[in-house]
Structure 1
């Protein structure tokens, strides 16, 4: 097994593809005479929409993998699983003879495996850390269809590779968590900048981008009149309408601002006009989704929240600001201030979507001038526009 252990460590040093490594381990164990029929590796993850990563290799079908939601990870199937059985009894390993009908009847998984010809199922936990993160370990299972099951020597041989597998799985798991967590809290593009080492205060660059600032009207009154948990649920639904519209058109939500958000559509790779078009389409789509959400909620007797959006294009400073040990990766500059003032003006004018001159004539959509207006905190007058319906 020394050669396989060295392979695991070398692959784990250079690759982030845990599925490919697990497939390679399973195939190499078979090549060394371990009669594997199916293997499974499950490990927790820390992501907004996933709680468990699952890799399954079978002799006939190869590798399959998926990321399970918290509900699927710890739902009824988990509650009636061999993994739950071991956890409740503080056991790290167990072997189950699937040629015994009494054993097969204990779990639905065993019945499925037995129907496929399996004769033994072995399960073992691999521990990672002592509680610093939720990545505390993984569950490794293997099944065989050879009559009589595994031998003790075969089980022990597989056990020899577990320290190497746990080290690699933990390293790859932490890397994935870092990427996914930063993407969730900062946005995927900004998170990638941080992962590349741009984490020092003052690390910044000037970029040209279309800016989208969205705000929900009437949210303060809603908070005052309803339980906090219900309000948070409603708010998340509205923010999802806006955020999904932004990301589907290449924009990135930089930050949530209580009952609104700030998003950017950088022009460096797609050009100024395309960035402006994408921002306008995202804004229109967000408005449509929000209207549909309000209609569904009204049908249920719930409250509605109207949406106010301002769009502007300009140069912004994109980078780290804050204290030495508490930073925010965001955009600042006159263009950010202006789009903020525009959103307030849009509410005063009763316009759901307000465009600055810098974006109105680049968005590829007919626009209607709303005249010139003074933006608080700025010099001069600014011509404002709305989309012509």
Structure 2
């Protein structure tokens, strides 16, 4: 029997290529099966346009528009390169770009890959971010103002995590924790995503201080620590009340690196495992290298900012 070539689906922007094994799968199905964030508010039934894509290459390798797609195209006045991912199938190689996807979708699709039963070990990047001097802020403001400030803090600092393919793991008082690589991926990408998120958080907090928090006479300062390593990921707890959890020394180390910002008066520190995980021309690292020994393990937090 002749060998049937399976289509390759290339996602521009994230530079990811997927082999489409199921000929009955739409392009949206392909995204979902491979944990690639792809918005589909109506559930992939052609009743919305949130799954729309732009076909970069291989337009003729897709099935013709369905009646639903033709009508949507007419109403929206789309050019021929725009398709609904839930309505088209690939017959051969195509290169596509997702046009609408939200940060919350990134979070949800990655969490769907976490095992429901026994936890499993995965290599991830962990980011800890903490507000400096939060006790003083609490003592000088009423409860509802603090709740408002924290909600704004969580929002503006959570967005960079989600936008850079991470998930928000938890909020602990004045601290936010992000994880990168929960659903897999290459080490260099997960490390770079965490670093980009940290830099985005730094910009976001400066903007928040100069806009919404001016009326509260508050200037939030923060510290961020990033580490990379293998941790156990899964849903843990009582059989009737399990929660998503991440356990392992790399998580504790990320928290300690974050705390060390106070001593060296920096705002972002990364571990040597993060530094080794990205191309050397990616970062502009400060001149000092610090070695901290915890138990029997040597960690090298490096200045970033």
TM-score range, shorter chain: 0.5 to 0.7
2:293 to 363, 374, 380: 374
State which of 135, 145, 151 in structure 2 corresponds to 1:230. Answer: 145
Provide runs of 4+ in structure 1 moved above 6 Å: 60-64
Post-superposition offset of 1:21: 9.0
CA RMSD, Structure 1 to Structure 2 (Å): 3.1
Shift of 1:225: 2.2
Shift of 1:189: 3.5
Deviation at residue 20 of structure 1 after TM alignment:
5.2
1:385 corresponds in structure 2 to 302
2: CA distance between counterparts of 1:286 and 1:213?
11
Alpha carbons 2:107, 2:166 under 8 Å: kept: no
| SS of match in other structure, 1:275 | helix
Instruction: Give the secondary structure class of the aligned counterpart of 2:289.
Output: strand
User: 1:188 pairs with 100, 108, 133, which one?
Assistant: 108
227 and 351 in structure 1: CA distance in 2 versus 1, 3 angstrom threshold: same
| Rounded Cα–Cα distance in structure 1 between residues aligned with 2:201 and 2:225 | 12
In 1, the alpha carbon distance for the partners of 2:253 and 2:168 equals 18
- Larger helix proportion, structure 1 or 2? 1
Query: Aligned match of 1:324 in 239, 246, 260?
Result: 239
How far, CA to CA, are the matches of 1:372 and 1:350 in structure 2?
A: 16
Deviation at 1:224, TM superposition (A): 2.2
Distance (Å, rounded) in 2 between the aligned partners of 1:247 and 1:17: 22
- Compared CA separation, residues 386 and 19, structure 1 to 2 (3 A): closer
Given candidates 224, 229, 238, the residue that maps to 1:314 is: 229
Contact 2:116 2:235 in 1 (8 A): yes
| Rounded Cα–Cα distance in structure 1 between residues aligned with 2:149 and 2:274 | 31
Q: Is the 8 A contact 2:107 2:162 kept in 1?
A: no
Larger relative contact order, structure 1 or 2 (CA cutoff 8 Å, min sep 6): 2
The 8 Å contact of residues 360 and 367 in structure 1, kept in 2 or not, is answered as no
In 2, the alpha carbon distance for the partners of 1:189 and 1:287 equals 26
Superposition TM-score, scaled by structure 1 size: 0.49
| TM-score between both structures, scaled by the size of structure 2 | 0.61
Measured after TM superposition, the shift of residue 22 of structure 1 is 8.2
2: distance between equivalents of 1:274 and 1:230? 38
